[in-house]
Amino acid sequence: MKILQINSSVNSGSTGRIAEQIGSQIIKKGHESFIAYGRGNRPSSSKLIKIGNFKDVLIHGIYSLFFDKHGFGSIQSTKKLLKQIDEIKPDVIGLHNVHGYYLNIELLFNYIKLKNIPLVWTFHDCWPITGHCAYFDSISCEKWKTGCTNCELKNKYPKSILIDNSRHNYLKKKSLFNQVSHVTIVTPSIWLKNIIKDSFLKHAVVHIPNGVDLNVFKPVIDLKEIKDKYNIGSKKVVLGVASVWDERKGLNDFIKLKLVSDRDIKIILVGLNKAQIKNLPANIIGIERTESITELAALYSLADVFVNPTYVDNFPTTNIESLACGTPIITYKTGGSPEAIDKFTGVIVEKGNLSSLENAISHVLTLGKEYYSKACRERAEKFYDKDDKYDDYFNLYETILKGNK
Confidence band for 248, pLDDT divided at 50, 70 and 90: confident
Confidence band for 259, pLDDT divided at 50, 70 and 90: confident
Confidence band for 263, pLDDT divided at 50, 70 and 90: confident
Cis amide leading into 158 (omega within 30): yes
How confident is the model over 97-138, as pLDDT tens digits? 999 999 999 999 999 999 999 999 999 999 999 999 999 988
Confidence band for 262, pLDDT divided at 50, 70 and 90: confident
Cβ burial, residue 140 (10 Å; 0-12/13-18/19+): exposed
Lowest mean pLDDT among 230-234, 244-248, 341-345: 244-248
For residues 53 and 40, give the distance between their C-alpha atoms in angstroms, rounded to a whole number: 10
Mean pLDDT, range 9-38, rounded to an integer: 94
Does residue 405 surpass a pLDDT of 70?
A: no
Q: Which amino acid is at 353?
A: N
Does residue 41 surpass a pLDDT of 90?
A: no
pLDDT, position 14: 87
Q: Which CATH architecture has domain 224-383?
A: 3-Layer(aba) Sandwich (3.40)
pLDDT, position 391: 94
Mean pLDDT in the chain?
95
User: Hey, do 2-211+386-404 and 224-383 end up sharing a CATH topology, with the first three levels equal?
Assistant: yes
Does residue 169 surpass a pLDDT of 70?
A: yes
For residues 166 and 64, give the distance between their C-alpha atoms in angstroms, rounded to a whole number: 12
Mean pLDDT, range 268-291, rounded to an integer: 92
pLDDT, position 126: 97
Does residue 291 surpass a pLDDT of 90?
A: no
Q: Domain locations in the chain?
A: 2-211+386-404, 224-383
For residues 137 and 349, give the distance between their C-alpha atoms in angstroms, rounded to a whole number: 16
Span between the terminal Cα atoms of the chain, in Å: 13
How confident is the model over 297-315, as pLDDT tens digits? 999 999 999 999 999 999 9
How many angstroms from the chain centroid is the CA of residue 310? 12
Task: Determine if the pTM surpasses 0.85.
Answer: yes
Handedness of CA 377, 382, 386, 387 (dihedral sign): positive
Handedness of CA 329, 331, 336, 341 (dihedral sign): positive
Mean pLDDT, range 131-157, rounded to an integer: 95
CATH topology of domain 2-211+386-404: Rossmann fold (3.40.50)
For residues 187 and 123, give the distance between their C-alpha atoms in angstroms, rounded to a whole number: 5
Counts of helices then strands in the chain (DSSP H, E): 14, 13
* Percent of the chain topping pLDDT 90: 91
Does residue 385 surpass a pLDDT of 60?
A: yes
